[in-house]
Each structure stands twice: as C-alpha cells, then as structure tokens.
Amino acid sequence: MAARKTERKANGTGTIRKRADGRWEGRYTVGFDPKTGKQRQKSVYGSTQKEVRQKLSAVASEIDAGTYVEPRKETVAEWLDVWLETYVAVSVKPYTYDSYMRHCKNHIKPALGRIKLTELSSIQIQQFYNSLLMEKKLSPKTVKNINGVLHSALEQARKLRMIALNPTELCTLPRAPRKKIQPMEREEVAEFLKRIEGNRYELIYRVTLFTGMREGEVLGLTWDCIDYEKNTIAITQQLQKTKKVGGKYALVPTKNSRNRTITVAPSVMTLLRERKRQQLQDQLMAGEAWDNPWNLVFTREDGKNLCHFTVYRFFKDVVREMGLGNQRFHDLRHEFAVASLESGDDIKTVQENLGHATASFTLDVYGHVSQQMRKESAARMEGFIQAVS
C-alpha cells in the first residue's frame, strides 16, 4: 500500500510532502502563467524533510535576491548549438563563425558538452582549460580564444536568465606572451624590393609595405576606394575566406569593423596607376573570360580574386632566399609602422593609419625600437652631452 502523504509548511517557503516512493518533495511558486493566471510551481526533492527544507530556503533566498534561475534540462552542447545558430551566425563574419564552430566541435563539446548548462561550474571549466594546456599542449593564445567562445556563449545564457552567473568569470587564464616583432632593417627592405622586381605580386608587396594594410585589406581593395586627387585610400573591407572545406571568398568588413582613410605617399599612387595599366592589359588578353565582379585592384589574369595562400607562398620564397625565413607577410605591416616612427610620425598618426583601436595598443605593440632608431637616439644624446660638457 502506498505510504500516506503528509504536508507541512516550510516557514512560508513552500509546501513539503512525503511522496509514495518515500522521497520528500518541496513545491514552491515561481510566478503566474500569463495565459491562465494560475500559479507556476516547481519542485525540489530530497531523502529527508530537512534536506528539502534547506533546498526550499535556498530557492527562496535566490528569488528574493533576483538571482533565481529555473531548473533546465539543456546540456552545454545543446545550448552551444542554439547560440551558434541564433546569435553568432547573424552577427559575425563567416571566417569568425567557422572559428567558433571549430572550437565548439573540437574542444568544448567533447569535454563539457554533456554537462547540464545550469550545473556547469567554474572548477570544471578551469580543469578543462588546464587539460588543454597540459595534456593537449595547446598554446596559451589558443586557450584564450577557446575561453572567448565559451565566455560569449555563457554570457548570452546569463542575459537570458538561463543561468545565474557566468562561470568563466572566475577562471584563471594562462599568460600568452606577445611574439617579438622583428621587422626587416632598411638594408633588408631594400634587398627585398630588389628581389621582387618583376614578380607577379610585386605591386601587392610594395603597396602593403608602403601603406601598412593587412593582407585581407590589400587583397580586398577596390578601385572605387582610391582617390588619386587627394592621394587617399579608403579601407572599408577585406577579402576573407571561411576555413571550412570548400569555403568561399567574400568581401567582409575590416577587422573590428573599423573603416579608415589613409593618405599615402605619391609613390604609392604611381604604383596603383601601374597596377591599373597591368589590369587593363590582363582584361584585354582575357576577353570574354574576364571576371572581376567586385572591381578588385589586385586580381588573377582572368580578373578573379587572388588566393591568400598563393600570395603568402611567393612572399615566403623570397624571404627564405634572403635568409629571413621567420618573416611573415604580416610583418610588412610592422615594417611600415617602424618606418613611419623612424620618419618622425607621431603615435596617433601611426595608430590611425594602421587601424588600431587605441594609441596605447599601438605603443604596446611597437614599444621596441629598431637599430636605426637606437643609433639616432644615441646620436641625439651625444649632442646633448657635448652641449652641456
């Protein structure tokens, strides 16, 4: 025969009863159904009346403090799928979306996916990050990127009141040392320019070196962004390809969606006029096969967009022959920045030309000085010494 049920009030926090299966159940009200007007009730369970009373008391405190979150069944994996499709897919660039998906699929879901979203703790996340470092040997920067994805997903869940707090807030992330920037010295730049003479991508390398544009920005540059009268280039987009297999190229907003207009040296405009001449010749040779729907400045012989890897590979071939195998295409941007500083440009101008968010970030990146700047600094100090001695 089923056990007799008993009901008692738990200090106004709800109703406690003993179930037929021997467990104790505490019911509490979380509001009213807007359609029926009836109370919406939830339950907590325990093996003793005291345990249930403690749970009800904790729930009552959370309701009073405004931190109460209704119990949910979603797992971390299920929420990540919803978050990616509903919030991420419509708000970030395709390249970024693919990156988020890979971090979720390859790392977050295998380790944390089965845990209920409301039960995920900071300790579990910290242990996950530690394992990525110690066992999988991922770099601190990669772990920080993975944290960025998980933090964003959980922060959205917190805003929707699916969880009370974002557990990633209490995690300690590894320090990611900044890579030392080693731009080419002036003599090396001169040799580089000599070696690329006649190369199919010579003008790309020169324009990048003399403007500080990012690779995606220079490959996504269109003719309508160039003002020959004012010697300016409007940088409003970049050419980007999704990393998934079969990914397509697209013109997307610049990094952090920060558009900028830079005033360039007259020599850069001369290079762009030369590029226009080359492209018109390519178009004439291609005839009906010509296809440049985006009006790109730098294209293949048939007008289609260039592949990032191809441009990068030719660059690496040149610098390896120079004995500078560690140089990256992105270092052309650093060389522009150092040359600007050496030429006397103020940090604010360099910041705006590079498209950095703040001048402090530019200072942080280029806090080092080149050999030429050190020599000039020593010469100025020698002049001061002679003047006061």
Q: What would the DSSP string read from start to end of 26-63?
A: EEEEEEE-TTT-PEEEEEEEESSHHHHHHHHHHHHHHH
**Could you tell me the CA-to-CA distances from 251 to 65, 214, 215, 236, 241 in Å, in that order?**
48, 14, 13, 10, 9
Instruction: Encode 144-159: b = buried (16+ Cβ within 10 Å), e = exposed.
Output: bbbbebbbbbbebbbe
Q: Which two tokens stand for residue 6?
A: 């008993």
**H helical segments located in the chain:** 49-65, 76-83, 94-103, 109-112, 122-134, 140-159, 186-195, 202-211, 215-219, 266-286, 308-321, 331-342, 347-354, 359-365, 371-388
- Reference 299, options 206, 228, 220; nearest CA is 220
Residue 145: predicted pLDDT: 95
Radius of gyration of the chain, Cα coordinates, nearest whole angstrom: 30
25, 17 contact by CB (below 8 A)? yes
* pLDDT beneath 70: ranges in the chain: 1-13, 31-35, 65, 67, 70-71, 243-246, 367-373
Q: What is the pLDDT of residue 28?
A: 85
Quick one: tokens of 274? 């030369």
Query: Residue 354 to residues 160, 337, 358: CA-CA distances in angstroms?
Result: 37, 8, 10
- DSSP secondary structure letters along 76-130: HHHHHHHHIIIIITTTS-HHHHHHHHHHIIIIIHHHHTTSBGGG--HHHHHHHHH
CA dist., res. 366 & res. 338, Å (int): 8
Query: What phi and psi, each to the nearest 5 degrees, are found at residue 92?
Result: -125, 170
Whether pTM exceeds 0.95: no
Rounded Cα gap, residues 374 and 380, in angstroms: 10
What token pair was written down for 344? 């006397």
| Spatial contact of 101 and 148, defined as CB atoms under 8 Å apart | no
Distance from C-alpha of 22 to C-alpha of 30, rounded to nearest angstrom: 25
CA-closest candidate to residue 273, choices 338, 234, 223, 198: 223
At 21-62, the pLDDT tens digits run: 999 999 888 766 666 777 778 888 999 999 999 888 888 887
Structure tokens belonging to residue 125: 């996340």
pLDDT at 34: 62
Q: What is the pLDDT of residue 370?
A: 59
State the Cα–Cα distance between residues 213 and 218, nearest whole angstrom. Answer: 6
pLDDT of residue 372: 67
**What is the distance between the alpha carbons of residues 31 and 335, in angstroms, rounded to a whole number?**
63
Question: In angstroms, rounded to a whole number, what is the distance separating the alpha carbons of residues 374 and 318?
Answer: 28
Note whether 305 and 222 are within 8 A (CB).
Answer: no
What one-letter code names the amino acid at 130? Answer: N
Amino acid type, 367: G
- φ/ψ of residue 248, rounded to 5: -105, 155
**Answer CATH for 186-376 from 1.10.443.10, 3.30.700.30, 1.10.132.10, 3.40.50.720:** 1.10.443.10
CATH class of the domain comprising 76-170: mainly alpha
